[in-house]
Amino acid sequence: MDQGPPLLRVQGLTIAFPGDGAPVEAVRDVSFDIARGETVAMVGESGSGKSVTALSLARLLPSPPAEFRSGKILFDGRDVFALAPPELRSLRGGGIAYVFQEPGTSLNPVFRVDSQIAEAIRLHRPGVTDIDAEIVRSLDLVGIRDPALRMRDYPHQLSGGMQQRVMIAMALACQPKLLVADEPTTALDVTIQKQVMDLLKELRSRLAMTILLITHNFGIVSDFADRVLVMYRGRIVEQGPTRSVLRDPRHPYTRALIDCIPRLGAKPGRLKTIDHAAIQAALPHV
């Protein structure tokens, strides 16, 4: 891992959304760093604020309704909130690229795969002259066979797993410094899930990428991430190296989240569930 300042530093980030009465803080005082070349997993249930945090990194949250209450996001040493519109555009894709949960809706159905990747390359790497070659290279990178042929396909002609590979290829074509994968496998079949995770693993080692993986499932974290952040109700309740968090979770929520996953070959019986009241009691009150 590189030394020096982290690639991403989030400090005291608080984001609120208008609620029924008073605004609701979806993210509360969240701070974390991601070093260059590191893979960090952010684990939490829906509503824990993990996706909101991830989207806010490149200011992708619509505002209004989102309201940035406080905090700082420093990417590559620069304050994301202070960026001028052109700088912000180059940050998106070029600095931070995203892969989302639903590959089917993330790709524009009326354009062929190649024109969508080409757009990304043109935007972020104006120096590239042979765009077609670059498209083939990026599709090849994500393990799509016959890339020169497949790049002429429309998104609906591809399976869900293939679509997600295209999304990853598109994200990588911009040569981002940080790849944010927001539940990249949740919408996919288990066998495809594994393929996509294997692909990300391989790409990470080949390209020395920095990855932020957002997920609700501890299962896919264990052999993937260097470090884990556990989010619960807008806060980070625990963070640390994956191994030690999994082996010796300190926060009751983390323990509960690990325990409730059904395991193959385990004795049948009741699954453990999360006792929210107990966890609430364990949370520091603000």
Partner 1 sequence: MEGTLTPSPLARDRWRRFRRIPRAHRSLWILGGAFVLSLFSDLIANDRPLYLAYGGRHFFPAFKFYPETSFGGRYGTEPDYHALRESPAFRAGRGWMLFPPIPYGPIRSNLDRPDPPPHAPSWGHWLGTDSIGRDVLSRLIHGFRVCMLFALALVAVSAVLGIVIGGVQGYAGGRVDITLQRLIEIWAALPFLYVLILLGSIYGRSFSILLCVTAAFQWIGLSYYMRGEFYRLRDQTFVVASRALGAGHGRIIFQQILPNALGPVITILPFTLIAGIGTLTALDFLGFGLPPPSPSWGELLQQGLKQLYCPWIAFSAVAALFTTLMLASFIGEGVREVFDPRSKSRYD
Partner 2 sequence: MSDTPLIEVRDLQVHFPVLAGVLRRPAGAVRAVDGVSFAIPRGITMGLVGESGSGKTTLGRAILNLLRVTGGRVRFEGRDITNLSAGEARPLRRRMQAIFQDPFNSLNPRLTIAQIVGEALEIHFPKMRRSERRDEVARLLGIVGLEPSHLDRYPHEFSGGQRQRIGIARALAVKPDFIVCDEPVSALDVSVQAQIINLLQDLQDEFGLTYLFIAHDLAVVEHISDHVLVMYQGKIVESAAADELYRTPSHDYTRRLLDAVPTIA
Site residues (CB under 8 A) for partner 2?
45-47, 160, 189-194, 197, 216-220, 222-223, 246, 256-258, 260-266, 268, 270-274
- The CA distance from 252 to 40, in Å, is 21
CB of 85 to partner 1, least distance (A): 7
Residue 114: how many other CB atoms lie within 10 Å: 20
- Residue whose CB is less far from partner 1, 55 or 188: 55
Instruction: Indicate the SS3 state at residue 167.
Output: helix
With contacts defined by CB under 8 A, name the span among 62-70, 123-131, 169-177, 211-219 that binds partner 1: 62-70
- The CA distance from 140 to 199, in Å, is 12
CB of 86 to partner 1, least distance (A): 12
DSSP letter at 93 equals I
- Residue 105 as a binder of partner 1 (CB under 8 A): the answer is no
- The CA distance from 33 to 56, in Å, is 15
CB of 192 to partner 2, least distance (A): 7
- Residue whose CB is less far from partner 1, 62 or 262: 62
CB burial class (10 A; 0-12, 13-18, 19+) of residue 46? exposed
- Residue 70 as a binder of partner 1 (CB under 8 A): the answer is no
- Residue whose CB is less far from partner 2, 84 or 277: 277
Which position among 4, 62, 86, 284 is part of the footprint of partner 1 (CB under 8 A)?
Answer: 62
Q: How far is CA 221 from CA 12, 17, 40, in A?
A: 25, 29, 9
With contacts defined by CB under 8 A, name the span among 60-68, 130-138, 149-157, 231-239 that binds partner 1: 60-68
- Residue 85 as a binder of partner 1 (CB under 8 A): the answer is yes
- The CA distance from 181 to 120, in Å, is 17
The interface partner of residue 277, options being partner 2, partner 1, none and the CB cut-off 5 to 8 Å by kind, is none
CA Rg value for the chain = 20
- Residue whose CB is less far from partner 1, 60 or 187: 60
The closest of 153, 191, 186, 187 to 169, measured between CA atoms, is: 153
Which position among 24, 63, 70, 82 is part of the footprint of partner 1 (CB under 8 A)?
Answer: 63
Full DSSP string of 172-207: HHT--SEEEEESTTTTS-HHHHHHHHHHHHHHHHHH
- Residue whose CB is less far from partner 1, 60 or 131: 60
CB of 271 to partner 2, least distance (A): 4
- Residue whose CB is less far from partner 1, 63 or 157: 63
The interface partner of residue 63, options being partner 1, partner 2, none and the CB cut-off 5 to 8 Å by kind, is partner 1
- Residue 88 as a binder of partner 1 (CB under 8 A): the answer is yes
CB of 158 to partner 2, least distance (A): 13
Strand pairing of 67-75 and 78-79?
antiparallel
**213 pairs with which residues across the strands?**
41, 181
Per-residue 3-state assignment (H helix, E strand, C coil) for 272-284: CCCCHHHHHHHCC
The interface partner of residue 283, options being partner 2, partner 1, none and the CB cut-off 5 to 8 Å by kind, is none
Tell me which residues touch partner 1 (CB under 8 A): 59-60, 62-65, 85, 88
